[in-house]
Amino acid sequence: LYEECAQAMPWRQAVYRKRNQETGEVTVTTIASNRQDSSYRCLTTGIPRLDAALQRVVELCGITDPGAFLLNNWYPDGNTSIAPHMHDFWSAILSFGQARVFMLDGQPVLLGDGDLIVFGTQRHSVPKMPKVSNGRVSVAIFWYPEEKAEPEYDPATAETAAGGTALCTGCQLQGLRMQEASDGLNYCEGCWDAWQEQNGRGLRDNYEGETTTEDDLMAAILQLSMTEF
Count of CB atoms within 10 A of residue 21's CB?
8
Average pLDDT, the chain: 79
**CA-to-CA distance for 113 and 135, rounded, in angstroms?**
11
Q: Which residue has the higher pLDDT, 89 or 184?
A: 89
| Residue 216 pLDDT level (bands cut at 50, 70, 90) | very low
CA distance 59 to 112: 22
Looking at residue 203, what is its pLDDT?
36
The structural domains of the chain, with segments of one domain joined by +, span: 1-143, 155-225
- Yes or no: say if 93 and 53 are a contact pair by the CB < 8 Å rule: no
Q: Is the pTM of this model over 0.75?
A: no
Give the mean pLDDT of 149-164.
Answer: 52
- Residue 62 scores a pLDDT above 60: yes
Give the three-class secondary structure for 54. helix
The secondary structure element, H or E, covering residue 27 is: strand 26-40
Residue 211 pLDDT grade (very low, low, confident, very high; cuts 50, 70, 90): very low
Which of 19-23, 127-131, 183-187, 212-216 is modeled with the greatest confidence?
127-131
Statement: 1-143 belongs to CATH 2.60.15.10: no
Q: Which amino acid is located at 165 in the chain? A: T
| Burial of 152 per CB tally in 10 Å (0-12, 13-18, 19+) | exposed
Identify how many contiguous H helices and E strands the chain contains and give both numbers: 3, 12
What pLDDT score was predicted for residue 184?
A: 72
Q: How confident is the model at residue 227 (pLDDT cuts 50, 70, 90)?
A: very low
- Average pLDDT score over residue span 156-179: 57
Residue type, 177: R
Cβ–Cβ < 8 Å for 3, 30: no
For residues 179 and 195, what is the distance between their CA atoms, to the nearest angstrom? 11
Residue 217 DSSP label: P
